[in-house]
Structures are given as C-alpha cells and as structure tokens.
Amino acid sequence: MGRTAKDKCLLCKVNESDKKNSHWIPAAMLKSMVGKRDNEESYQFSNYQKRKLDIYYGRDNLKNTDTIRKQNHYSLNFIFCFDCEDKLGKIEGKVIPIIQDEIRLDNKKPNYEELSNDEITFKKCLRLDNHLFRLFFYSVIWRFALIYRIEDDIKLISEEKEEELRKILNEFLNKDLNKISSDIPDLAFQVFTADSFEDKTEGTVYSEDIYSDPMICFANEFIIFYYENGYAVKHNYSLPINTLVESEMALNDINDHPKIGFIDNFHFQAINEKMISDAVTAILNSLVKKVCDCTGLSLINSRYNLAKIGMDIHQKTGENLITAFEEAADLICKGEPK
C-alpha cells in the first residue's frame, strides 16, 4: 500500500494519517479469536491470486521463527488520523459489549426481546440506540470495502457506495453520539451470529468479491450481509447462505430496535466453510490459468501438472496446499519443475 504519516486520513480526508496500528476490524470483535496477546496465529489470502497466502504468528508463538516483527493481519499503519481512530473507538465501545457479550448473559435477558421464525431466532437489543447500531455496522462494512480495495484491488462494493458510506461516517461520527439524529441513511443489512461456538479461537475475518449483492463479511463471531442496492433476493445462493439471504425478517428496520439473528453453530460453520471452499477453488483455478498462460498448455494439462508438482511439494515439505500449489505454479512458469 505504501502509505505514510503525511498522507491524508482515509476517513476524514483532512488530517494527516498519523496513527499507527489502526485496527480495520474493531479489536474488541477479535478478542475471542486472538486469545493471549502475542500468541496469535492467522492466515491471510484472497481469491484470484490478488495476494499469496501469508501466515502470521505472534512474537511469543512457538511457531514464530522469523526474526523480523510483522504487522498483524487486522491492523495497518497510516490509514486513519488519531481523531478519526478515537471516534471509531467510541462508537465501538457503545455497541460491541451489547451485541457481542451481554446478549449471551442470563442476567441481561431483560435488555433483549427474543422472537423467531421457523429457522432463525432473533434478539432485539432494547437498550441500544438503532442509529448507533447502524453507524457501527456501516463503519465495519466500509472498512472491509476500503481495505480490500486498497490492499488487494478487490471491490466488494462500488466505489460510489464506498464513498457514500465514508461521508455518512464522517458526518455522523462528528456529532454527539448520545444525540444521533434520525436522519442517518437507512441502508439494508442483516447481522447473524451463532447460538454457540465450539472453539472461539477459530474465528474468521474474511470477505471476497465472489459474493456480491449482498456483500458478505465474516467478522469473527458475526456474519454481515450488506445490500448495496437495497434488499432483494437476486441469486440462487447455495445452502445455507440462501436461508439467511431470504430471511427478510432479519433486516434491520431503522424504526425498530436493533436486531441480531442467531443460527446454530453447525450452519454458522457451514457458511464459513462454504465461503472458504469457494475462495480456495477460485485460487486453484487462477493458478491453473497462470500455468496455462505461461506454458501454452491446455487447461487439462495445466491442471494435471500443477496438481502433480503441488502435491509433491506438499508431501515433501509439509507446507499447506495453497502455498505448495503457489510454489508449483511459479516453478512451472520458470521452467524449473522439480
């Protein structure tokens, strides 16, 4: 990305972006998956080879053999100014405890109203201002779109809609959060979480341009569906994604209390695995195309050679399959298959 402290803040576009280590995903949303500080382990990749697989280990993680300290996958330097970072932090502090922590506590049940349809249970947050709730999730959606675009040239939403979201945030974050007016734009989105988690440390922060309308974002314990052009069921999504897309009841009504949909852990993980599987398929297809383009071989022969050499690297080195296939594609294109 190559930004410096002298570049303008990407939110206000006025102040210099002098803040280091800005979390583009709120840190509080990551706490369950990060675990003990400096012991993290995370994997970053994108489809179509926009970036190669990158593995991050915290400096105290025993798997970390790198002498150079790396930036973790969820924060970046010089994207925001201190002022905007502080404003984002304030709204996160007002919203995240209510939707992530207290919503699961028995002694907080009076603060929520539970309702359900045949497949999904919902909890309305009776003591959370809807405008704060919306502004918070607009900020999460915008940061996903921003970072994927500037880091990987992946457009999760149109640049026009991304700019619209930035302007909404810049306007309303500068107001008294206790007096957010009702004229905040009403954008269509749904928020889901799991009714339980078998292992909270195995979270996912992920989105891809494979999916659009809605844009689908995994933010650890939450799945966010954002409809850039207004809510509509336009595609035959595979199970169980279609169940959520078609759940109009899950849409957040600006004139009602904020709402979170709860799905069982099995289906939550199934959606996670479906998105990752689709992304891995796209990565492998892009590697086959790369081999095909650089060698002139047919797609069938390119796929065969890539699989043969990639599996050989995987078996000999123990590297994960994506890294092994990336190395195989590079070797083939250099004319150095081994």
Select from 85, 212, 176, 206 the least CA-distant residue to 139: 85
Q: Is the pLDDT of residue 44 over 80?
A: no
The predicted pLDDT at position 48 comes to 45
Largest interatomic CA distance in the chain: 67
Q: What is the model's pTM?
A: 0.84
Say which residue, 70 or 313, is predicted with more confidence: 313
167 contacts: CB under 8 Å, gap ≥ 6: none
CA gap 26, 221 in Å, rounded: 12
The arithmetic mean of pLDDT across residues 302-315, rounded, is: 90
Pairwise CA distance, residues 46 & 59, whole Å: 24
pLDDT of residue 234 exceeding 90, the answer is no
Residue 49 — very low, low, confident or very high, per pLDDT cuts 50/70/90?
A: very low
pLDDT at 45: 54
- pLDDT tens, 78-122? 999 999 999 999 999 999 999 999 999 999 999 999 998 767 899
Average pLDDT over residues 312-318: 87
Of all residues in the chain, the percent with pLDDT exceeding 70 is 83
Confidence of residue 54 (pLDDT cuts 50, 70, 90): low
User: How far is residue 189's CA from residue 269's CA, in Å, rounded to a whole number?
Assistant: 20
Average pLDDT, the chain: 85
Tell me the C-alpha distance between 176 and 174, whole Å: 7
Read off the pLDDT of each residue in 7-35 and give the average, rounded to a whole number: 88
Percentage of the residues of the chain whose pLDDT score is greater than 90: 45
Q: Name 325's Cβ contacts closer than 8 Å, sequence gap at least 6.
A: 283, 284, 287, 306, 307, 310, 313, 314
Section 8-16 average pLDDT: 96
How does pLDDT run across 138-161, given as a tens digit for each residue? 999 999 999 989 988 889 999 999
Give how far Cα 6 sits from Cα of 12, 74, 76, 150, 167, Å.
14, 22, 15, 17, 21
